Copies of this chain bind each other. A is one copy, B any other.
């Protein structure tokens, strides 16, 4: 089970930038109200995500059978999905598959090579087409709205190639669609072409969708244990609904971070000490960033709130960002992700008799990375910099499910504490419209005029 240590968020340890038990006590009514807002709305509106842990076993059985079937026929499994449709699959697959999965020889891989294509750089598309064999490739096209330009474009390009290479009939079997059934362009195409379609629940937003078919379909194909993943998520849900703040990990950390935001900490660092967990920071960046950054609160008051996630990785970023965390402005709260048991073992046996390195002899990378993490936490504490640490027993499906669900509850609580709409993203609409305008889409002529009315001065160009 996930463990939390928030000693170094407290004044008695870090001084001016920490908090006291009394402050927390005083805020208890506010905290309890945030808890109720989230728990009482379980399964309602945009909070359908909380119910995904109750996906019936029968559905999971069907999914894993579907996955096994595809897996048999597939050497290259490609996800086309961006934002919430890519980050969950990426975070989980990176954590749970072999670290160099795609480079393993076929006899050592249970699952096909995989590609989470969450961008449209033409070099990247070319790069993909250079290494996959269309004859043995399957494509999971994921977009909740069914309208995402990037994802549709990727699909159009590949579907044309598939038809050319395999014929229409076979090509149709290579596209697996995950979208909102009954709605949107991709659903219409899927119906017409006869693609296999998986639904995303209406009230499940992109960044809260990893336990829906958005994640489960690729995980099933990649032979990731979806049962344990969901069990882990369920364990986190149970913890997140506890009313005692001294037991509820998501609630206390949401509170401490929101309180830190009010205290000038506009940056939230997430620093896993684990390469497989690296993309948890990307998942978190979207979830925390997009959910909490809002121009107005629920009362229509202009707040421009939000906390900017910064992705870090231990020990790597000790040699890159820790100088900044130690000596820069007091504008950060750091969340460390620790792993108790790395499962792999990397012993250091022979130090070639170098006296300087005596301390490494007979030790292991496991011990070194753990010591580095504890040392960094200690050093930050000494500088009065707030941090808390979440510890996973191992990086396995249960723990990863638990961690992802924790992030979601933490975000939901923080949104409630901030009195904002956690589930919308109005700020991205303007860019979408301007894109359509620049692509000369019908109906966006006025927007194009507006864009073109901006006169750039050559004085400000070099």
Q: List 29 A-B contacts (CB under 8 A).
A: A5-B456, A99-B123, A103-B131, A118-B316, A119-B275, A122-B344, A122-B346, A122-B365, A122-B369, A150-B372, A153-B348, A153-B368, A159-B352, A185-B354, A266-B267, A266-B329, A286-B320, A290-B323, A290-B324, A293-B328, A305-B329, A308-B310, A359-B440, A368-B435, A371-B439, A374-B434, A376-B434, A379-B431, A383-B430
What residues on B are CB-neighbors of A428 within 8 Å?
Answer: 318-319, 322-323, 326
**Given A286-B320, A462-B247, are A100 and B343 also a contact pair (CB < 8 Å)?**
no
Given A156-B348, A347-B157, check contact A306 B321 (CB 8 Å): no
Q: Check if A227 is an interface residue, CB within 8 A of chain B.
A: no
Contact of A131 among B100, B185, B360 (CB under 8 A): B100
Chain A 93-107: CB-based contact to B (< 8 A → 1; otherwise 0): 000001110111000
Binds B, one of A38-46, A52-60, A78-86, A397-405: A78-86
Cβ of A445 < 8 Å from any Cβ of B? no
With A104-B130, A323-B425 in contact, is A348–B157 under 8 Å at CB?
yes
Distance of A309 Cα from B324 Cα, bound (Å): 10
Q: Judge whether A83 and B427 touch: CB under 8 Å.
A: no
Residue A238 interfacial (CB < 8 Å)? no
Q: Are A438 and B124 in contact (CB under 8 A)?
A: no
User: Which of A273, A274, A319, A461 counts the most B-chain CB atoms under 10 A from its CB?
Assistant: A319
Known: A120-B365, A289-B324, A294-B328. 4 other contacts (CB 8 A): A98-B127, A150-B372, A266-B331, A371-B438
* A104 to B130 CA separation, bound complex (whole angstroms): 7
Expressed in whole angstroms, the minimum distance between the Cβ of A434 and any Cβ of chain B is: 3
Provide the bound-state CA to CA distance between A330 and B149, in Å: 29
A386 lies within 8 A of chain B by Cβ = no
Q: Give the residues from 422 to 449 in chain A that come closer than 8 angstroms, CB to CB, to chain B.
A: 425-428, 430-442
